Structure 1
Amino acid sequence: MYMKSINKKRVLQCIQENAPISRAEIAGKIKISKPTVSLLVDELIQEQWVFEKGNGEASSQGGRRPIQLYFNDRAAYIIGTDIGGTKVNTVVSDLRGNIIASSSFTTGAYLESGLLKQIASEVERLLQQNNIGRTDILGMGAGVPGITETATGIVVEAPTLNWVQYDFISEAKKYFSFPVYVDNDVNAAALGEQWLGSAKNRKNVLFIAVGTGIGSGIIINNQLYRGSSSAAGEIGYMVTDKTDLKHDFKPTFHRYGYLESVAGGKSIGDKFTTHIRNEPDHALFEQAKTSELTGEMAFERAKKGDRIALEVIEEAIEHLAYGVINAASLLNPEVIILGGGVLQSTELILPALRKIVNQYLPSSVEIHTSQLGDHAGVLGAVSLFLREHASILNYHDEGDCL
């Protein structure tokens, strides 16, 4: 039975990756006998994972056209939710990562009354609106902004949500009848990029999210690397200037790391504000006197050639580049993907970053921006579910069906 189960997964994966494909072609690709393939395909059709087109009619050359098999990406649906410090995004996705429906709400408005309760109500609404039954939902993946133990479902610490040792899965079971999996949001985004984005078909990936803070997701030999206490990838704690650290360094927020305190979005805004306050002739001087300028404002001004904004951003990029060099030297990824809020301004960041990184790295590495953008988190959560949940869809044997 075990062998049959494995072979069935292999046949399904082969159809997923190569459709349209015939039974004979599958047998040739995965080296299983034609009768066995035919039997397994019949089961997959019966279970609606696969459908066939064509009726085996003769072609113009005289031979019979083989019946073509296709993967049914609407055989079931998956919920993906990306719980951020500012907002919560939720999607209903098909099995190929096509978003069928989506919604979002402000995190702060539901922190006290319960985020999962609100997510459940959003999911219910999305399913009703799209005539999708609860039994059609395979399960849900969730990304959260903090250290998360996927095996236990416990969020060790998520400061922006005021969660400490929060038993996410136990809470989720109160509202959802289907299986739920949770991981750190940047880990989830890394999986999303590998599944559908800039890291597709790559086995060694470093995904770096640059927002208010800086974090990363690491995929080594096709496996997400979480570390001994689920805290791998905390690149924001890298030190990129020991002299600064020895003197009067103060983290942007309590318990923030060095790199995110000098290159994160909040620190760019803070530095920009400090410099402008010493420039009475600057257009933003009056505003800077009474309020903090944001990282976004610094980028906007830099695009217009503002000298101070360019200097501040250049310094932040240097620190980020040193962090990338350190991480890439250690991990030797095939590709580095940059995502997160600050990277809305890739035309300013990417060329300068590539120049520094390639100058100091022992072997060159591809650096791209996130292809999934705002959807990296939610589609990553869907991908997390597909990877973690033991189902017929969960089979990856490298080089099996190419």
Structure 2
Amino acid sequence: MKRTPRQQRYVNKKRIIQCIRECSPISRAEIAGKLQLSKPTVSMAVDELIQEEWIYEKGIGESSSQGGRRPIQLFFNEKAAYIIGADIGGTKVKIVLCDLSGNILAEIGFLTSTYLQTGLLKQMAHETERLIAKNQIVRDRILGMGVGIPGITQTASGLVIEAPSLGWVQYPFIAEAKRFFDFPIHIDNDVNAAALGEQWLGNARNKRNVLFIAVGTGIGSGIILNNQLYRGASSAAGEIGYMVTDKEDMKREFKPVFRRYGYLESVAGGKAIGDHYTEAVRNNPHHSLFGQVQSSQLSGADAFSSAAKGDATAIEVIHQALEHLACGVVNAASLLNPEVIILGGGVLHSAAYILPRIQEIIDRYLPSSVEIKPARLGENAGVLGAVSLFLREHDSVLNLRDEGDHI
């Protein structure tokens, strides 16, 4: 559909501010060259952006080494507005106040269980107000909030279809949130948000095709194809934890580690590794932890810690889990052909041990090579991903989706 002149000016303005964000300091002439726009078109849009305080200029009339005058340099004003990022986990809720470049200015967190029954959104609003007031941010400078939720969510309607760890089914998140917040809010699955965060500021930066896999108690993935988040027909794309990696095992009676969990996360997730390690130690009276497991369970972290010390039992349990995980990664990557695979979640603490083994299996079976990297944003992947989600979904001059291209 052909754009009206007014629509085209707005698109040009968005492309210009995106160019300045990614390439500043940059001159008007350089922008015109990069974007193949006329100098008057660029100059008009730049004047508007300066007036609206999205950008600022420096360097008027400075002499260059060749003599003459340097062009005025344009810079993105990352303090022009602020965004709230929230990551709702089954254990903890984390909220951050960010500038437009993803710099975290302040953060706060609280236990999910403490407020889940009495009003999670009310507490989130209370903590958000504290962040804004404490940092003396003018209210109208808050653009809005992005939220990552551990479950199947519909971004367009704001409905949480199901979030097992929160006990939410068909929960109208956005409708409820409007009772407590007076700015725009966008939600998505927490792993989708983390994938966007890694593409924005992490190890998937400047990549248009990304597979983000989060391995914790459960296993999920976020998929970015041709620079767009792929959510699927019913917003359930990326549920890699339901992948079956052993058909023989499926012939027997399959029992997930938690109700409604999938096969892969039940054999390769953190809880599964801990359970299998506990069982293996209980069957070995000579193991140093034999006495401990008579009255308590070992965790996945315990297994990795023991493996690092050379415990043969832990090494065997982890290798079996990693074979399943690597099979899942190979299957997903062969279908999606990503430029990079990012591994995140609780498993990050053992990334140095895990990544080489998975990379080895990927290289053996995948038709085209792909690098697997740890999530760079670590524990902030969720909240910064939520901020990135807001920037993509909220219709503004900063909308990161624009024409889908980076400079």
Whether these two folds match at TM > 0.5 is yes
Confirm or deny that 1:248 pairs with 2:253. Answer: yes
Paired AA for residue 368 in structure 1: K
Which whole-Å CA distance do the structure 2 matches of 1:287 and 1:58 have between them?
74
In the TM superposition, what whole-angstrom CA distance separates every residue of 1:54-96 from its partner, at most 9, and x where no partner exists? 1223334221111111000010000000000010111011111
Q: Read off the aligned partner of 2:172 and give its amino acid letter.
A: D
Alignment match of 1:45 (pick from 50, 54, 60): 50
Which residue in the other structure is 1:268 paired with? 273
1:205 corresponds, among 207, 210, 217, to: 210
1:274-302, Cα deviation, whole Å (9 max, x unpaired)? 11111222221121111111111111111
What is the DSSP-based 3-state SS (H/G/I as helix, E as strand, rest coil) of the residue aligned with 2:137? coil
The separation in 1 between residues aligned to 2:372 and 2:16, in whole angstroms, is 34
Check if 1:13 corresponds to 2:46. Answer: no
Cα pair 2:265 2:272 within 8 Å, conserved: yes
Distance 1:57 1:244 in 2: 72
Q: Does 2:72 align with 1:62?
A: no
Give 3-state SS (helix, strand or coil) of 1:243's partner: helix
Say yes or no: does 1:236 pair with 2:241. Answer: yes
Q: 2:308 aligns with which of 303, 311, 327?
A: 303
Answer yes or no: is 1:30 the counterpart of 2:52. no
Query: Which residue in 1 is equivalent to 2:330?
Result: 325
User: TM-score of the superposition, structure 2-length normalised?
Assistant: 0.97
How far the C-alpha of 1:353 sits from its partner, in A, is 0.7
Q: Structure 2 counterpart of 1:396, which letter?
A: D
1:396 aligns with 2:402: yes
- Residue-by-residue CA offset, 1:115-151 (whole Å, 9 max, x unaligned): 1111111111111111112211001000000000111
What does the per-residue CA deviation read over 1:193-238, in whole Å, with 9 as the maximum and x for residues that have no partner?
A: 1111111111111000000000000011111010000000000000
Unmatched runs of 5 consecutive residues or more in structure 1: none
1:17 and 1:293 map into 2 onto residues whose CA distance is 47
The alpha-carbon deviation at position 6 of structure 1 amounts to 1.1
What does residue range 170-189 of structure 1 map to in structure 2 within 5 Å? 170-189=175-194
Q: Distance in 1 between matches of 2:65 and 2:216?
A: 59
> Which residue is 1:369 aligned to?
374
Instruction: Say whether 1:223 aligns with 2:228.
Output: yes
2:334 is aligned with 1:334: no
Q: Structure 1: how far apart are the matches of 2:356 and 2:22? A: 34
Alpha-carbon distance in structure 2 between the residues aligned to 1:348 and 1:249: 29
Deviation at residue 171 of structure 1 after TM alignment: 1.0
Aligned residues: CA RMSD: 1.1
Q: CA deviation at 1:398?
A: 4.7
Stretches of structure 2 that go unaligned for 5 or more consecutive residues are 1-5
Q: Residue 78 of structure 1: which of 80, 83, 86 is its match?
A: 83
Q: Is the 8 A contact 2:94 2:108 kept in 1?
A: yes
* SS of 1:152 mapped into structure 2: coil
Q: Percent sequence identity over matched residues?
A: 67
Is this contact kept in 1: 2:227–2:404, CA < 8 A?
no
Counting matched residue pairs gives: 401
Letter in 1 for 2:46: V
Q: Secondary structure at the match of 1:88?
A: strand
Question: Counterparts of 2:15 and 2:34 in 1: how far apart (Å)?
Answer: 10
1:384 aligns with 389
Residues 348 and 378 in structure 2, CA contact (< 8 A), matched pair in contact too = no
Name the SS for the 2:368 alignment partner.
coil
